[in-house]
Amino acid sequence: MYKVIYLMGYRFSSSKCLTICLGLTFIMGCFLASLPIQFDLAALPKPVRHQISSEFPPKKRLALIVPFRDRFEELLEFVPHMHKFLNKQKIPFHIFIIQQADSNRFNRASLINVGFLLTRNDYDYIAMHDVDLLPMNDDLKYDYPDKAPIHISSPETHPKYHYDTFIGGILLIKNEHFELVNGMSNNYWGWGLEDDEFYVRLKDAGLNVNRPDNIKTGPEKTFKHLHNKMYRKRDMRKCYNQREVTRRRDRVTGLHDVSYVLTGQRQLTIDTLPLTVHNVQLICNVNVTPWCRCPEPQKPSKS
């Protein structure tokens, strides 16, 4: 007995039917293999994009270093502003808030030294950046300062400081130059003069300071200075021999001997924009710089 199959009116034995089926499969396979291969690329899952620049050579990376204590309202305005401002310039950057978390007087220069040590392996240059100074003119370019440091907040455009050798506020410097001058002096506790001392360091190392030369907006409109001097009083006290020592160039302290303890690190966002906060306890050698804590002035007695 063998099975008989009727197909489209024809009579086939089952073995014949199997042969025909195999034959048809083979012909279909050959036909499909001969077709050109087409993928719908849009339908494929997208690869995960990491922040690797396709530019060659790759763009230099900027660590925006903000020495900081007790300026939260300013920070809330600073972070969104800087993201918008630097994204327009397509600068790869990250904001590092170096928050002084000890009971010594504020030391802007030592905080910048610490910020540099924390970022130098991953970034190519730093901006030492006041938290309360917002650049308003898009012609202020935060480009890699290859030849020499770039002073963004020049005396012609800074809202408050107009002397020739002023380099405070916002200064860009590449890692090699910051290391060359041994960073900033650690002797400046309280407000002022640390930037003037840094200017002398740069000069002694033969480094010029470049400034943007095409800015027409003047001291009124180039920056917004979020500084109410009644509310944010500058700590101008001078005690012990502070005045005498801080008038002179410091050839001893700097990047290599800044003394500190890291007490915490946080990744934050403000309006979804990322920043890193490092909490830093600066260690003061009171034998060398006793003015890191000025004694409170004696109140007159009531008798």
Site residues, Mn ion (CB under 5 A): 132, 227
Interface with ligand UDP: number of residues (CB under 6 A):
15
Return the SS3 of 7: strand
- How near is the Cβ of 54 to Mn ion at its closest, in Å? 39
DSSP H/E element including 266: strand 260-270
Tokens of 1: 């007995």
C-beta of 132 vs 194, nearer to Mn ion: 132
Q: How many whole angstroms separate alpha carbon 21 and alpha carbon 267?
A: 66
Contact 79, 273 (CB under 8 A): yes
Q: Does 227 bind ligand UDP (CB under 6 A)?
A: yes
> DSSP secondary-structure letter at 213?
S
Relative orientation angle of helices 108-119 and 194-204, to the nearest 10 degrees: 60
Please work out, in degrees rounded to the nearest 5, the angle formed at the alpha carbon of residue 166 by the alpha carbons of 225 and 182.
110
Residue 66 binding result from ligand UDP, Mn ion, none, given CB thresholds of 5 to 8 Å by partner type: ligand UDP
Identify which range of 9-17, 68-76, 172-180, 260-268 contacts ligand UDP by CB under 6 A.
68-76
Contact 197, 184 (CB under 8 A): yes
Which of 19, 70, 84, 249 forms a contact with ligand UDP (CB under 6 A)? 70
Identify which range of 38-46, 57-65, 124-132, 294-302 contacts ligand UDP by CB under 6 A.
124-132
Contact 61, 124 (CB under 8 A): yes
28 conformational bin, left if phi > 0, alpha if psi -120 to 50, beta if neither: alpha
Q: Does 234 bind ligand UDP (CB under 6 A)?
A: yes
Q: Does 69 bind ligand UDP (CB under 6 A)?
A: yes
Q: Does 237 bind ligand UDP (CB under 6 A)?
A: no
Q: Does 278 bind ligand UDP (CB under 6 A)?
A: no
Residue appearing with tokens 């005690």:
239
Which of 62, 63, 67, 150 forms a contact with ligand UDP (CB under 6 A)? 67
- How near is the Cβ of 92 to ligand UDP at its closest, in Å? 22
Q: Does 108 bind ligand UDP (CB under 6 A)?
A: yes
Residues in contact with ligand UDP by the rule CB under 6 A: 66-71, 106, 108, 130-132, 168, 191, 227, 234
